[in-house]
Chains A and B, each alone.
Chain A
Protein backbone atom coordinates (compact mmCIF):
# COMPACT_ATOMS: atom_id res chain seq x y z
CA UNK A 1 0.00 0.00 0.00
CA UNK A 2 2.91 2.34 0.78
CA UNK A 3 6.47 2.32 -0.57
CA UNK A 4 7.82 1.82 2.97
CA UNK A 5 6.06 -1.58 3.33
CA UNK A 6 8.56 -4.39 2.76
CA UNK A 7 6.77 -6.07 -0.20
CA UNK A 8 6.60 -2.85 -2.20
CA UNK A 9 8.13 -3.11 -5.68
CA UNK A 10 8.45 -0.27 -8.18
CA UNK A 11 6.75 -2.19 -11.04
CA UNK A 12 3.80 -1.63 -13.38
CA UNK A 13 1.44 -3.74 -11.22
CA UNK A 14 1.97 -1.50 -8.21
CA UNK A 15 1.82 1.67 -10.33
CA UNK A 16 -1.53 0.70 -11.85
CA UNK A 17 -3.23 -0.73 -8.74
CA UNK A 18 -2.11 1.86 -6.25
CA UNK A 19 -2.06 4.72 -8.76
CA UNK A 20 -5.77 4.13 -9.44
CA UNK A 21 -6.58 3.64 -5.77
CA UNK A 22 -4.87 6.83 -4.58
CA UNK A 23 -6.26 8.74 -7.56
CA UNK A 24 -9.82 7.80 -6.53
CA UNK A 25 -9.14 8.54 -2.86
CA UNK A 26 -7.80 11.98 -3.88
CA UNK A 27 -10.90 12.73 -5.99
CA UNK A 28 -13.22 11.76 -3.13
CA UNK A 29 -11.22 13.74 -0.57
CA UNK A 30 -11.01 16.86 -2.76
CA UNK A 31 -14.74 16.57 -3.61
CA UNK A 32 -15.77 16.27 0.03
CA UNK A 33 -13.41 19.06 1.12
CA UNK A 34 -14.87 21.35 -1.56
CA UNK A 35 -18.41 20.56 -0.33
CA UNK A 36 -17.51 21.23 3.31
CA UNK A 37 -15.63 24.47 2.61
CA UNK A 38 -18.40 25.81 0.37
CA UNK A 39 -21.03 24.83 2.95
CA UNK A 40 -19.20 26.63 5.76
CA UNK A 41 -18.81 29.69 3.51
CA UNK A 42 -22.49 29.70 2.50
CA UNK A 43 -23.68 29.14 6.05
CA UNK A 44 -21.54 31.95 7.43
CA UNK A 45 -22.86 34.22 4.66
CA UNK A 46 -26.42 33.31 5.69
CA UNK A 47 -27.27 31.85 2.26
CA UNK A 48 -29.83 29.15 3.12
CA UNK A 49 -32.50 29.51 0.44
CA UNK A 50 -31.73 26.94 -2.22
CA UNK A 51 -35.19 25.50 -2.89
Chain B
Protein backbone atom coordinates (compact mmCIF):
# COMPACT_ATOMS: atom_id res chain seq x y z
CA UNK B 1 0.00 0.00 0.00
CA UNK B 2 2.79 2.43 0.92
CA UNK B 3 5.54 0.76 -1.12
CA UNK B 4 6.05 3.88 -3.26
CA UNK B 5 7.32 5.73 -0.18
CA UNK B 6 9.69 3.00 1.05
CA UNK B 7 13.35 3.51 0.03
CA UNK B 8 14.53 1.54 -3.01
CA UNK B 9 16.39 -1.74 -2.45
CA UNK B 10 15.22 -2.35 1.11
CA UNK B 11 12.50 -4.56 2.54
CA UNK B 12 10.03 -3.50 5.26
CA UNK B 13 7.27 -5.34 7.13
CA UNK B 14 3.73 -5.28 5.71
CA UNK B 15 1.68 -2.10 6.04
CA UNK B 16 -0.83 -3.98 8.25
CA UNK B 17 1.79 -5.06 10.78
CA UNK B 18 3.30 -1.57 10.82
CA UNK B 19 -0.13 0.06 11.29
CA UNK B 20 -0.93 -2.27 14.18
CA UNK B 21 2.28 -1.23 15.97
CA UNK B 22 1.51 2.42 15.29
CA UNK B 23 -2.01 1.97 16.65
CA UNK B 24 -0.68 0.69 19.99
CA UNK B 25 1.79 3.59 20.20
CA UNK B 26 -0.92 6.10 19.27
CA UNK B 27 -3.12 4.79 22.09
CA UNK B 28 -0.26 5.34 24.57
CA UNK B 29 0.34 8.83 23.17
CA UNK B 30 -3.36 9.70 23.61
CA UNK B 31 -3.27 8.42 27.20
CA UNK B 32 -0.23 10.62 27.84
CA UNK B 33 -1.86 13.66 26.25
CA UNK B 34 -4.99 13.12 28.33
CA UNK B 35 -2.81 13.24 31.47
CA UNK B 36 -0.97 16.31 30.13
CA UNK B 37 -4.27 18.10 29.48
CA UNK B 38 -5.34 17.31 33.04
CA UNK B 39 -2.10 18.91 34.30
CA UNK B 40 -2.61 21.96 32.10
CA UNK B 41 -6.28 22.42 32.97
CA UNK B 42 -6.27 21.50 36.66
CA UNK B 43 -2.68 22.42 37.54
CA UNK B 44 0.22 20.65 39.21
CA UNK B 45 -2.03 19.30 41.98
CA UNK B 46 -2.43 16.40 39.56
CA UNK B 47 1.09 15.34 40.54
CA UNK B 48 2.44 13.96 43.79
CA UNK B 49 5.25 16.50 43.94
CA UNK B 50 5.73 18.24 47.27
CA UNK B 51 8.16 20.67 48.93
CA UNK B 52 10.82 17.94 49.20
CA UNK B 53 10.28 16.69 45.68
CA UNK B 54 9.86 19.87 43.66
CA UNK B 55 12.35 18.19 41.31
CA UNK B 56 10.57 14.90 40.72
CA UNK B 57 10.00 12.25 38.04
CA UNK B 58 9.64 14.78 35.22
CA UNK B 59 12.93 16.52 35.90
CA UNK B 60 14.71 13.21 36.22
CA UNK B 61 13.20 12.07 32.88
CA UNK B 62 14.18 15.42 31.40
CA UNK B 63 17.79 15.18 32.51
CA UNK B 64 18.00 11.51 31.56
CA UNK B 65 16.74 11.98 27.99
CA UNK B 66 19.00 14.99 27.53
CA UNK B 67 22.00 12.93 28.70
CA UNK B 68 21.24 9.91 26.51
CA UNK B 69 20.33 12.22 23.63
CA UNK B 70 23.92 13.51 23.81
CA UNK B 71 24.80 10.87 21.21
CA UNK B 72 23.59 13.24 18.49
CA UNK B 73 25.91 16.12 19.33
CA UNK B 74 28.93 13.96 20.12
CA UNK B 75 28.57 11.71 17.06
CA UNK B 76 27.96 14.84 14.95
CA UNK B 77 31.11 16.42 16.38
CA UNK B 78 33.13 13.29 15.61
CA UNK B 79 31.70 12.95 12.10
CA UNK B 80 31.55 16.54 10.84
CA UNK B 81 34.13 18.44 12.86
CA UNK B 82 36.79 15.83 13.67
CA UNK B 83 36.10 14.01 10.39
CA UNK B 84 35.65 10.34 11.33
CA UNK B 85 34.18 9.22 8.02
CA UNK B 86 33.02 5.76 9.19
CA UNK B 87 30.43 7.43 11.41
CA UNK B 88 28.47 8.62 8.36
CA UNK B 89 26.83 5.19 8.56
CA UNK B 90 25.23 5.88 11.94
CA UNK B 91 24.99 9.69 12.08
CA UNK B 92 21.47 9.84 10.55
CA UNK B 93 20.18 7.50 13.21
CA UNK B 94 22.02 9.42 15.95
CA UNK B 95 20.33 12.64 14.79
CA UNK B 96 16.86 11.02 14.78
CA UNK B 97 17.37 9.56 18.26
CA UNK B 98 18.71 12.89 19.53
CA UNK B 99 15.78 14.74 17.97
CA UNK B 100 13.33 12.40 19.74
CA UNK B 101 15.16 12.86 23.05
CA UNK B 102 15.16 16.66 22.86
CA UNK B 103 11.52 16.79 21.71
CA UNK B 104 10.73 14.64 24.75
CA UNK B 105 12.64 17.00 27.02
CA UNK B 106 10.81 20.04 25.68
CA UNK B 107 7.43 18.32 25.94
CA UNK B 108 8.06 17.30 29.55
CA UNK B 109 9.18 20.84 30.36
CA UNK B 110 6.05 22.26 28.73
CA UNK B 111 3.98 20.20 31.17
CA UNK B 112 6.28 20.71 34.15
CA UNK B 113 6.33 24.50 34.10
CA UNK B 114 2.67 24.45 35.07
CA UNK B 115 1.81 27.60 33.12
CA UNK B 116 2.92 26.81 29.53
CA UNK B 117 1.31 30.01 28.25
CA UNK B 118 4.05 31.87 30.11
CA UNK B 119 6.84 29.65 28.80
CA UNK B 120 8.23 32.48 26.67
CA UNK B 121 8.87 34.58 29.82
CA UNK B 122 12.18 32.76 30.28
CA UNK B 123 13.44 34.39 27.06
CA UNK B 124 11.66 37.71 27.31
CA UNK B 125 12.33 38.36 31.03
CA UNK B 126 15.50 36.27 31.37
CA UNK B 127 17.22 35.94 34.74
CA UNK B 128 20.84 36.02 33.60
CA UNK B 129 22.07 34.77 37.00
CA UNK B 130 20.31 31.42 36.61
CA UNK B 131 21.88 28.25 35.22
CA UNK B 132 18.39 27.21 34.13
CA UNK B 133 18.10 30.26 31.86
CA UNK B 134 21.20 29.09 30.04
CA UNK B 135 19.68 25.59 29.87
CA UNK B 136 16.44 26.99 28.39
CA UNK B 137 18.32 29.04 25.77
CA UNK B 138 20.66 26.22 24.72
CA UNK B 139 17.95 23.53 24.83
CA UNK B 140 15.60 25.47 22.55
CA UNK B 141 18.36 26.43 20.15
CA UNK B 142 19.81 22.92 20.09
CA UNK B 143 16.38 21.45 19.31
CA UNK B 144 16.32 23.86 16.35
CA UNK B 145 19.76 22.58 15.30
CA UNK B 146 18.54 18.98 15.52
CA UNK B 147 15.47 19.88 13.45
CA UNK B 148 17.79 21.43 10.84
CA UNK B 149 19.92 18.27 10.88
CA UNK B 150 16.78 16.12 10.51
CA UNK B 151 15.45 18.04 7.45
CA UNK B 152 17.94 16.62 4.89
CA UNK B 153 17.18 13.10 6.15
CA UNK B 154 13.45 13.75 5.62
CA UNK B 155 14.14 15.17 2.17
CA UNK B 156 15.76 11.88 1.17
CA UNK B 157 12.36 10.19 1.18
CA UNK B 158 11.88 8.54 -2.22
CA UNK B 159 8.89 10.66 -3.22
CA UNK B 160 10.15 13.97 -1.78
CA UNK B 161 13.54 13.45 -3.42
CA UNK B 162 11.86 13.35 -6.85
CA UNK B 163 11.14 17.09 -6.54
CA UNK B 164 14.27 18.90 -7.84
CA UNK B 165 14.06 21.73 -5.29
CA UNK B 166 13.93 19.35 -2.31
CA UNK B 167 16.61 17.14 -3.84
CA UNK B 168 18.95 20.13 -4.17
CA UNK B 169 18.01 21.49 -0.73
CA UNK B 170 18.87 18.16 0.91
CA UNK B 171 22.20 18.07 -0.89
CA UNK B 172 23.09 21.67 0.01
CA UNK B 173 22.13 21.15 3.64
CA UNK B 174 24.33 18.06 3.81
CA UNK B 175 27.19 20.21 2.54
CA UNK B 176 26.65 22.86 5.22
CA UNK B 177 26.10 20.35 8.02
CA UNK B 178 29.53 20.89 9.64
CA UNK B 179 28.49 24.43 10.61
CA UNK B 180 25.24 23.22 12.19
CA UNK B 181 26.97 20.28 13.90
CA UNK B 182 29.65 22.54 15.40
CA UNK B 183 26.95 24.96 16.63
CA UNK B 184 25.08 22.01 18.12
CA UNK B 185 28.20 20.79 19.92
CA UNK B 186 28.77 24.28 21.38
CA UNK B 187 25.17 24.49 22.61
CA UNK B 188 25.20 20.96 24.00
CA UNK B 189 28.38 21.45 25.99
CA UNK B 190 26.80 24.41 27.74
CA UNK B 191 23.31 23.11 28.46
CA UNK B 192 24.52 19.67 29.56
CA UNK B 193 26.99 21.41 31.85
CA UNK B 194 24.49 23.92 33.19
CA UNK B 195 22.11 21.11 34.13
CA UNK B 196 24.91 19.74 36.31
CA UNK B 197 25.68 23.24 37.50
CA UNK B 198 22.12 23.65 38.82
CA UNK B 199 22.77 21.05 41.54
CA UNK B 200 26.42 21.93 41.99
CA UNK B 201 25.79 25.55 43.03
CA UNK B 202 23.22 24.67 45.72
CA UNK B 203 25.41 25.36 48.77
CA UNK B 204 22.40 24.79 51.03
CA UNK B 205 22.12 21.24 49.68
CA UNK B 206 25.37 19.51 50.66
CA UNK B 207 24.60 16.30 48.75
CA UNK B 208 24.75 18.16 45.46
CA UNK B 209 27.07 21.05 46.24
CA UNK B 210 30.53 20.97 44.65
CA UNK B 211 33.47 23.33 44.40
CA UNK B 212 34.76 24.21 40.94
CA UNK B 213 36.35 26.78 38.65
CA UNK B 214 34.98 30.36 38.44
CA UNK B 215 31.16 30.05 38.27
CA UNK B 216 31.22 26.38 37.20
CA UNK B 217 31.05 23.64 39.85
CA UNK B 218 32.69 20.28 39.01
CA UNK B 219 29.25 18.82 38.23
CA UNK B 220 29.11 21.17 35.22
CA UNK B 221 32.02 19.33 33.59
CA UNK B 222 30.94 15.88 34.81
CA UNK B 223 27.49 16.22 33.23
CA UNK B 224 28.89 17.29 29.86
CA UNK B 225 31.49 14.52 29.93
CA UNK B 226 29.00 11.82 30.95
CA UNK B 227 26.51 12.86 28.22
CA UNK B 228 29.24 12.74 25.56
CA UNK B 229 30.37 9.36 26.93
CA UNK B 230 27.03 7.61 27.39
CA UNK B 231 24.97 9.32 24.64
CA UNK B 232 26.62 7.30 21.84
CA UNK B 233 25.95 4.13 23.88
CA UNK B 234 22.22 4.91 23.74
CA UNK B 235 22.48 5.52 19.99
CA UNK B 236 24.20 2.15 19.54
CA UNK B 237 21.73 0.44 21.86
CA UNK B 238 18.68 1.77 19.98
CA UNK B 239 20.38 0.82 16.73
CA UNK B 240 20.85 -2.74 18.03
CA UNK B 241 17.19 -2.84 19.13
CA UNK B 242 16.13 -1.68 15.64
CA UNK B 243 18.29 -4.44 14.15
CA UNK B 244 16.69 -7.00 16.46
CA UNK B 245 13.11 -5.89 15.68
CA UNK B 246 13.68 -5.62 11.91
CA UNK B 247 15.70 -8.85 11.84
CA UNK B 248 18.46 -7.15 9.80
CA UNK B 249 22.01 -6.00 10.22
CA UNK B 250 21.92 -2.25 9.61
CA UNK B 251 25.39 -1.05 10.54
CA UNK B 252 28.72 -2.78 9.96
CA UNK B 253 30.70 -3.98 12.98
CA UNK B 254 33.62 -1.62 12.33
CA UNK B 255 31.29 1.35 12.92
CA UNK B 256 30.09 -0.07 16.25
CA UNK B 257 33.69 -0.90 17.11
CA UNK B 258 34.90 2.66 16.48
CA UNK B 259 32.05 4.40 18.30
CA UNK B 260 32.19 1.81 21.11
CA UNK B 261 35.92 2.33 21.55
CA UNK B 262 35.53 6.13 21.72
CA UNK B 263 32.63 5.75 24.16
CA UNK B 264 34.66 3.33 26.26
CA UNK B 265 37.54 5.78 26.63
CA UNK B 266 35.14 8.62 27.32
CA UNK B 267 33.36 6.59 30.05
CA UNK B 268 36.74 5.49 31.44
CA UNK B 269 38.07 9.03 31.74
CA UNK B 270 34.69 10.21 33.06
CA UNK B 271 34.88 7.52 35.74
CA UNK B 272 38.34 8.68 36.83
CA UNK B 273 37.00 12.23 37.20
CA UNK B 274 33.78 11.04 38.87
CA UNK B 275 35.63 8.90 41.42
CA UNK B 276 38.03 11.76 42.21
CA UNK B 277 35.08 14.15 42.57
CA UNK B 278 33.18 11.71 44.82
CA UNK B 279 36.20 11.13 47.07
CA UNK B 280 36.92 14.87 47.42
CA UNK B 281 33.24 15.56 48.13
CA UNK B 282 33.04 12.69 50.64
CA UNK B 283 36.21 13.55 52.58
CA UNK B 284 36.46 17.34 52.22
CA UNK B 285 33.37 19.18 50.89
CA UNK B 286 30.60 17.35 52.69
CA UNK B 287 32.27 17.17 56.17
CA UNK B 288 33.04 20.88 55.90
CA UNK B 289 29.28 21.47 55.52
CA UNK B 290 28.48 19.31 58.57
CA UNK B 291 27.49 16.01 56.98
CA UNK B 292 29.23 12.64 56.97
CA UNK B 293 28.88 10.70 53.73
CA UNK B 294 26.85 7.89 55.21
CA UNK B 295 24.27 10.42 56.46
CA UNK B 296 23.03 10.61 52.87
CA UNK B 297 22.71 6.90 52.34
CA UNK B 298 21.79 5.26 55.66
CA UNK B 299 18.52 7.07 56.34
CA UNK B 300 17.26 7.15 52.75
CA UNK B 301 13.61 6.00 52.58
CA UNK B 302 14.37 3.69 49.65
CA UNK B 303 16.87 1.77 51.83
CA UNK B 304 19.41 1.39 49.03
CA UNK B 305 22.27 2.48 51.27
CA UNK B 306 25.71 2.96 49.72
CA UNK B 307 24.87 0.32 47.07
CA UNK B 308 23.35 2.93 44.78
CA UNK B 309 26.75 4.62 44.58
CA UNK B 310 28.48 1.28 43.91
CA UNK B 311 25.88 0.47 41.25
CA UNK B 312 26.38 3.83 39.53
CA UNK B 313 30.17 3.95 39.64
CA UNK B 314 31.37 0.35 39.54
CA UNK B 315 28.69 -1.73 37.81
CA UNK B 316 27.30 0.91 35.46
CA UNK B 317 30.51 2.92 35.05
CA UNK B 318 33.81 1.12 35.44
CA UNK B 319 32.49 -2.20 34.06
CA UNK B 320 31.10 -0.87 30.72
CA UNK B 321 34.23 1.26 30.32
CA UNK B 322 36.44 -1.83 30.70
CA UNK B 323 34.32 -3.84 28.24
CA UNK B 324 34.29 -1.09 25.60
CA UNK B 325 37.97 -0.23 25.96
CA UNK B 326 39.02 -3.88 25.53
CA UNK B 327 39.22 -5.18 21.96
CA UNK B 328 37.88 -8.60 23.06
CA UNK B 329 34.98 -6.95 24.91
CA UNK B 330 33.95 -5.02 21.81
CA UNK B 331 34.26 -8.10 19.61
CA UNK B 332 31.80 -10.04 21.77
CA UNK B 333 28.30 -8.95 20.67
CA UNK B 334 26.61 -9.88 23.97
CA UNK B 335 29.21 -8.10 26.09
CA UNK B 336 29.07 -5.07 23.78
CA UNK B 337 25.29 -4.77 24.12
CA UNK B 338 25.54 -5.33 27.87
CA UNK B 339 28.09 -2.52 28.13
CA UNK B 340 25.82 -0.09 26.26
CA UNK B 341 22.86 -1.03 28.49
CA UNK B 342 24.94 -0.56 31.66
CA UNK B 343 26.31 2.80 30.46
CA UNK B 344 22.79 4.07 29.72
CA UNK B 345 21.50 2.85 33.11
CA UNK B 346 24.56 4.44 34.76
CA UNK B 347 23.99 7.92 33.37
CA UNK B 348 20.23 7.76 34.08
CA UNK B 349 20.99 6.61 37.65
CA UNK B 350 23.45 9.47 38.07
CA UNK B 351 20.77 11.97 37.05
CA UNK B 352 18.25 10.30 39.38
CA UNK B 353 20.61 10.50 42.36
CA UNK B 354 21.71 14.07 41.61
CA UNK B 355 18.15 15.32 41.08
CA UNK B 356 16.25 13.53 43.83
CA UNK B 357 18.58 13.30 46.82
CA UNK B 358 19.92 16.88 47.00
CA UNK B 359 16.41 18.33 47.14
CA UNK B 360 14.78 15.65 49.29
CA UNK B 361 17.57 15.13 51.83
CA UNK B 362 16.73 16.83 55.15
CA UNK B 363 19.33 19.46 56.03
CA UNK B 364 17.69 21.11 59.03
CA UNK B 365 17.32 19.49 62.46
CA UNK B 366 13.53 19.73 62.24
CA UNK B 367 13.43 18.22 58.72
CA UNK B 368 12.82 14.57 57.94
CA UNK B 369 12.73 12.40 54.84
CA UNK B 370 9.48 12.60 52.93
CA UNK B 371 8.38 9.82 50.63
CA UNK B 372 7.34 10.35 47.02
CA UNK B 373 5.63 8.14 44.48
CA UNK B 374 4.62 9.68 41.14
CA UNK B 375 0.94 9.98 40.30
CA UNK B 376 -0.45 8.20 37.23
CA UNK B 377 -0.53 11.56 35.44
CA UNK B 378 3.22 11.95 36.00
CA UNK B 379 3.87 8.41 34.80
CA UNK B 380 1.64 8.77 31.74
CA UNK B 381 3.21 12.07 30.70
CA UNK B 382 6.66 10.53 31.12
CA UNK B 383 5.73 7.51 28.98
CA UNK B 384 4.14 9.79 26.36
CA UNK B 385 7.41 11.07 24.84
CA UNK B 386 8.84 7.55 24.95
CA UNK B 387 5.97 6.26 22.80
CA UNK B 388 6.22 9.36 20.59
CA UNK B 389 9.95 8.78 20.16
CA UNK B 390 9.39 5.16 19.12
CA UNK B 391 6.82 6.38 16.57
CA UNK B 392 9.26 8.90 15.05
CA UNK B 393 12.07 6.31 14.89
CA UNK B 394 9.71 3.69 13.36
CA UNK B 395 8.33 6.10 10.73
CA UNK B 396 11.83 7.32 9.87
CA UNK B 397 13.16 3.78 9.57
CA UNK B 398 10.27 2.74 7.33
CA UNK B 399 10.18 5.69 4.97
CA UNK B 400 13.68 7.19 4.99
CA UNK B 401 17.08 5.81 3.97
CA UNK B 402 18.46 6.11 7.50
CA UNK B 403 21.18 3.47 7.23
CA UNK B 404 23.48 3.86 4.19
CA UNK B 405 24.85 0.31 4.62
CA UNK B 406 21.46 -1.43 4.83
CA UNK B 407 21.24 -2.34 1.13
CA UNK B 408 24.76 -3.75 1.06
CA UNK B 409 24.24 -5.78 4.25
CA UNK B 410 20.76 -7.04 3.23
CA UNK B 411 20.61 -7.53 -0.54
CA UNK B 412 17.04 -7.92 -1.83
CA UNK B 413 16.61 -10.64 -4.47
Contact = CB atoms under 8 A, between A and B. Distances in A.
A31 B180 contact: yes
B202 to A, nearest CB: 20
A38 B176 CA distance: 11
Nearest to B190: A20
Contacts of B129: 13
Contacts of A32: 148
The binding surface of chain A is classed by DSSP as helix
Interface string A12-51: 0110111011001101100110111011101100111010
Contact of A35 (B134, B167, B169): B169
B165 A43 contact: yes
A35 to B, nearest CB: 5
B128 A13 contact: yes
B168 A47 contact: yes
Contacts of B173: 35
Nearest to A45: B168
B187 interface: yes
Interface residues of A, number: 29
B interface residue count range (under 10 / 10 to 19 / 20 to 34 / 35 or more)? 20 to 34
B179 A48 contact: no
A5 B180 CA distance: 30
Contacts of A18: 126, 128
Contacts of A50: 167-168, 171
Given A14-B128, A17-B126, A35-B173, A24 B133 contact: no
Contact of B176 (A20, A25, A34): A34
A8 to B, nearest CB: 10
Given A17-B126, A17-B128, A27 B167 contact: no
A23 B116 CA distance: 26
B376 interface: no
B128 A24 contact: no
Contacts of A24: 141, 183, 186-187
A40 B187 CA distance: 30
Given A13-B129, A28-B144, A28-B148, A42 B180 contact: no
Interface of A: 1, 5, 7, 11, 13-14, 16-18, 20-21, 24-25, 27-28, 31-32, 34-36, 38-40, 42-43, 46-48, 50
Nearest first, the 5 closest Cβ-Cβ pairs linking A and B are A13-B128, A50-B171, A39-B169, A39-B168, A42-B168
